[in-house]
Amino acid sequence: MSDNDSQRRAVSRRRFVAAAGASGATYGLAGCLGGGGGGGGGDSEQISTEPPSDDITVELATDSNFADVGDQIVQTMRDNGGLPQNVGIEWTAGSFESGDRAAKYQQLLNAGNETPTIMMMDNGWTIPFVAREQLTNLSQALPDSIVSTVKEDYVDTMVATASDQNGDLFGIPFFADFPTIQYRKDVLRQAGYSDSDFDTWATEPLSWQEFSTVVAEGREVLSGMLDDGTTAQGFNWQGDAYVGLACCDFVEFMGSWGGSYFGEIDNLFGPVGDREITVDDDQAIDALRMMRTFIHGQDDPEALEGYEQISPENVVSYTEEPSRKPFTDGRAVALRNWPYSININGSEENFGEDLGVMPIPYHTTADESPYGPEIGGSTSALGGWHLALNPNATDEKKQAAVQVFQALQSDQVRLDMFEIGGYIPPIPDLIDTEQTRELDLIGRYVDTLQVASENAVPRPVTAVWPQQSSKVSEAVNKSLRQEKAPEAALSDLADAMATIEEQA
C-alpha cells in the first residue's frame, strides 16, 4: 500500500467523520426512535456544577480491567482534574464481553435502577439506548463548556455514536480504541528477521500473505522454544459468535480485502432501508475464505492458495481475553487485540521491548477497492467507549457525576490514562505528541497507533445494527467452523440484513 494511498484514505475518512459528526447521521432511520425521534432521556434540566457538600460516591460501571487501575485514574483526576476529595468513585466491574454489558444495562435501566450512576457504553451500541430514551441528555444537563469542547475537539465519529439526530449529546467519549497486531520480536529474530524489519512494520502494513508467512516461520521457531509440552500457536484473534466478531474482526478482515457491509463508507450510518447491502460481494467472500484458511489450512475446500494455516482451531471461540492469554503466556507468535493488552504484554514481566506492534495487514489497497478510497488497505475497526449518565440516579449522585465529567476534561488526566492502561485519548490532538512518545511503555507504539487511527473504519451504527450484528456474528462464525460455505453464509446474511432493514 503506497504512502499516497494511505494519505488519501486518511484525509477522506477525516472528511467523512466530520460530516457524520456534524449531521448527527448515526441514526440513519426516521420514525423508528420513539418519543417523536427527539432522542433519549426526555427533557433534562442542567445539573449544578457546584461540588457536593457531603461525601458521596459515584458508581461507575466499567469492565473488569478497571479493578487494577481505578485507584491510579482517580488519583490523577484529583491531582490534575480537580476532582473534589469528597467525591469518590466506585468502579463496578462488569463482564469484559461487550454484549453482556449491553444486556445488563438494559435490564437495569428498564427496571428504573438508580445505580450505577455512570455507565461505560460501547460506541457500537450507545445509539439504541438513546433511541429508547434511556439516557440523560447531556447537552441539556451539562454545562455548555463541556458539551462544546466534546463536539469541537473529540474524535468526530465517536461523538456521532453518542448523539441523537438533533445533535444532542448522550455520552462523553471516555477513550478511543484502535486495534493492532502484537508480535514476538524475540521469536521472529530467531526466524531470521531483524530490527530494521520491525521498524518498517511499525508503520508500513504487511500484506496478509506476507504476514501469514512470517507467522508460520515464527511458530516453527516457537515450537522449538517451548519445553513444557504445550503446542505453539501462530496468530490469535477473536472469532467467537459475539458482538466483537461483527463490529471489529470481520470489519477488519473484510475491509482489508476492499469489502464492506454497505458499500461506500457514507452508507454505514444509513439511511436504513435505502442503502446497498454488499456483505456478499467477492471481497467479503474472499476475506472469509482467508480467515478459514488461517484456521484450517489448505485442507479446507474453500482455502485460498498462498496462505498459511496460522491460527488455532480454538480461535472460533475466542473473545478478547481468551485470545490474549496464550500470547501473554508465551504460547503464540502474534495477536490481534486492543491497546489495553499492549500495556499488559509490553510490561517488563512479560515481553518488554521484545513486544512488536504493527498495523492490521491488508490484501486490497484503497485504490483497488470498489468502495474506496475510504475502504480497503490496512483496516482498523474504530472502537471506543462513552460515559453515559443514568437518568434514574438521585440528584445528589448526578451532581457528583458532573464533577467526574469535569475532571476528565483535563489533557493531563487523558494522557495519564493512556499511560496507565493504554486508554487512547478520544481527542486527536493528544494522540501523536512529543509527550505521548515519552510515556512509559505505550509511548513506544504511538506511531503504530497513529497509523491505526488514520485507517479506522466505524461500524455501521444505526438503530437496527444490534439486530444485524447478531446475524453477522452467527453467519461468519458458522462458516469459520466449516458448517457453511463462505458464499452461502454471506448470501444468507445479506438476505437477513435486508429483511431487518425492510422491517425497520
Q: Are residues 253 and 318 in the same domain?
A: yes
Encode pLDDT of 191-238 as tens digits: 999 999 999 999 999 999 999 999 999 999 999 999 888 899 999 999
Q: Are residues 409 and 396 in the same domain?
A: yes
Q: Give how far Cα 464 sits from Cα of 21, 165, 272, 476, 501, Å.
A: 19, 15, 8, 19, 7
All residues at 6 or more sequence positions from 133 whose CB lies less than 8 Å from its CB, including other chains: 34, 35, 39, 40, 41, 42
Q: How many CB atoms lie within 10 A of CB 106?
A: 15
Q: Are residues 187 and 167 in the same domain?
A: no
For 215-259, give the DSSP string: HHHHHHHHHHH--SSPPPEEEE---SSSHHIIIIIHHHHHHHTT-
Cβ distance 403 to 42 under 8 Å? no
**Widest pairwise Cα distance in the chain:** 69
CATH of residue 150's domain is 3.40.190.10
Q: Are residues 98 and 191 in the same domain?
A: no
Query: Is 443 within a domain?
Result: no
Give the pLDDT confidence score for residue 87 in this predicted structure. 98
* Amino acid in position 497: M
Q: Are residues 110 and 221 in the same domain?
A: no
Q: What is the number of domains present in the chain?
A: 2
Measured distance CA(29)–CA(126) in Å, rounded = 15
- For the chain of 504 residues, list the mean pLDDT of each consecutive stretch of 10: 50 41 38 32 77 96 90 98 97 85 94 97 92 95 95 91 93 96 98 98 98 98 91 97 96 98 93 96 98 98 98 98 98 97 97 98 97 96 96 97 97 96 92 90 95 92 92 98 98 98 93
Q: What are the cell numbers at 9?
A: 484514505
Q: Are residues 169 and 309 in the same domain?
A: no
Place of cell 530490527: 195
Give the pLDDT confidence score for residue 463 in this predicted structure. 85
Q: Are residues 234 and 330 in the same domain?
A: yes
Question: Which DSSP helix (H) or strand (E) runs through 388?
Answer: strand 383-389
Q: Structure pTM?
A: 0.87
Query: Is 250 within a domain?
Result: yes
Q: Give how far Cα 154 sits from Cα of 17, 41, 151, 162, 452, Å.
A: 11, 23, 6, 12, 17
Question: Which DSSP helix (H) or strand (E) runs through 182?
Answer: strand 180-184
**Main-chain dihedrals φ then ψ at residue 226, nearest 5 degrees:** -80, 125
Q: Are residues 159 and 193 in the same domain?
A: no
Query: Is 450 within a domain?
Result: no
Q: Are residues 62 and 35 in the same domain?
A: yes
Query: Is 164 within a domain?
Result: yes
Measured distance CA(461)–CA(269) in Å, rounded = 6
Query: Is 323 within a domain?
Result: yes
Query: Is 329 within a domain?
Result: yes
Q: Are residues 192 and 172 in the same domain?
A: no
Q: First vs last Cα of the chain: how many Å apart?
A: 39
Domain that holds residue 192: 180-380+461-503
Query: Is 208 within a domain?
Result: yes
To the nearest 10 degrees (0 to 180), the angle between helices 282-296 and 465-480 is 50
Query: Is 426 within a domain?
Result: yes
Measured distance CA(377)–CA(457) in Å, rounded = 11
CA-only gyration radius of the chain, Å: 22
Give the pLDDT confidence score for residue 356 in this predicted structure. 98
Q: Are residues 226 and 359 in the same domain?
A: yes
Measured distance CA(381)–CA(177) in Å, rounded = 8
Q: Are residues 467 and 426 in the same domain?
A: no
Give the pLDDT confidence score for residue 3 in this predicted structure. 54
